[in-house]
Amino acid sequence: MTTTIEAFTGPLAGYRRVVIKIGSALLVEGRGTLKRGWMESVAADVARLRAGGAGVLLVSSGAIAMGRGVLKLPKGKLKLEDSQAAAAVGQIALAKAWAEVLGDHGITAGQILLTLGDTEERRRYLNGRATIGKLLKLGAVPVINENDTVATTEIRYGDNDRLAARVAAMMSADLLVLLSDIDGLYTAPPQVDPNATLIPVIDRITPEIEAMAGGAASELSRGGMKTKIDAGKIATVAGTAMIIASGKVAAPLSRVDVGGPHSLFRAEATPVTARKAWIAGHIEAPGVLTIDAGAVRALKQGRSLLPPGVTRVDGDFHRGDTVIVVDEAGIELARGLVAYDAVDARRIRGQNSTVIENILGAPGRTEMIHRDDLVLKGDLGD
């Protein structure tokens, strides 16, 4: 390649670490053909980000869409085992194509396939973070997808919007770009409401913003606007700004940089610590603890949740799982890593520590959720 690559100078200038999520509909056409020319234009955009000093990660969908065409699977919703087989076939082609188009710019790609457990379990999360961090340090571009061949319905992300946000938070990226088939977040679904307008900047994801996303799912993308807003919550809490922009044009990032349409979700000014962002961003929360008014006050003062304040335990969870904490009216107050299995939590709820030792037959932890493992909704800006 002889052309010199110039760094961005507009809205995309100055970022240090950028995650770009690319939806299936942008990558695959017809019966499983990759849009190679478009991928080349994205690779050039990646080179421009890197020329400005940013480390770049790609979260690329398209494995299933690609593989189903190659395997001549029927149209419509696929059975789980068919989509797993399709992903196995599609992922090879997808990774190869990214390696080649990035390679044209002298950029090395490294494939990472993640399952839900890799981001939800602390030890695996830390391992994944170390590997991806190493790749970035070595100057490579991690090309990430969900490991769809082994993911089953119960334990999968299913959409790459939230996966990309989880990765962005995990890697302390300062920007997440979701490239999709829509220019950004509209006040109402633009297909049905001609008066819908694009919202250029979202300072905070309020219930009103969430309501706007409600019905805006597009047929082509699996996630639709709802999972994009969920992704925004995971990202912004962790200090990562998020941009939604259309990828239906060549060089979509260059277009944003010269002022093309997009929605920017600003990062929280005071992001919670990486550990708390990890807790808050959990996709799965298998249990719910209901707490009394006294415990609500204690939590708001930054204290731990103790067993006497817990009035009800729902769900089936293990020690270390993320649970949701609600008040007596069922309003979510916090999320945290619970110190007891559900069975024990039920036995000791409402009890004080002297009784607990008798119940459990051994001294247990004093806290149901330690304050270091607890993230209040207030901390999340909503």
- Token pair listed for 28: 């695959």
Could you tell me the smallest distance in angstroms from the CB atom of residue 84 to ligand GLU?
11
Q: Is 181 annotated as a binding residue?
A: yes
Q: Which is nearer to ligand GLU, 24 or 246 (CB)?
A: 24
Report how many residues bind ligand GLU under the rule CB under 6 A.
14
At closest approach, how far in Å is the CB of 260 from ligand GLU? Answer: 23
**Which stretches does DSSP call E strand in 174-328?**
175-180, 201-202, 241-246, 263-265, 287-291, 310-315, 322-326
Minimum Å distance from CB 88 to ligand GLU? 11
Q: Could you give the CA distance from residue 7 to residue 289 in angstroms, rounded to a whole number?
A: 50
Paired tokens of 212: 């706007």
Residue 377 among known ligand-binding residues: no
The region of 102-110, 142-150, 243-251, 324-332 touching ligand GLU under the rule CB under 6 A is 142-150
The pairing of strands 28-29 and 33-34 is antiparallel
Q: CA-CA distances (angstroms) from residue 77 to 64, 65, 81, 83? A: 11, 11, 12, 9
Q: Is 218 annotated as a binding residue?
A: no
Residue number, 25 or 342, with CB nearest to ligand GLU: 25
Backbone torsion region of residue 95, taken as left when φ is above 0, otherwise alpha when ψ lies between -120 and 50, otherwise beta: alpha
CA dist 248 → 25, 35, 162, 278 (Å): 9, 11, 21, 32
Beta strands 287-291 and 322-326 are parallel
Q: Which of 12, 15, 24, 102 binds ligand GLU (CB under 6 A)?
A: 24
Q: Is residue 84 at the binding interface for ligand GLU, with CB under 6 A as the rule?
A: no
Kindly state the DSSP code that residue 155 receives in the 8-state scheme: G
Amino acid letter, residue 87:
A
> Interaction with ligand GLU in 213-272: which residues (CB under 6 A)?
222-223
x/- track of binding to ligand GLU for residues 146-185 (CB under 6 A): x-x----------xx-------------------------
Instruction: Specify the stretch interacting with ligand GLU by CB under 6 A; choose among 71-79, 141-149, 292-300, 302-310.
Output: 141-149
Amino acid at 329: A
Of residues 12, 43, 64, 243, which one binds ligand GLU by CB under 6 A?
64
Binding-site positions read 21, 61, 148, 160, 180-181
Interface residues with ligand GLU (CB under 6 A) are 24, 61-65, 87, 145-146, 148, 159-160, 222-223
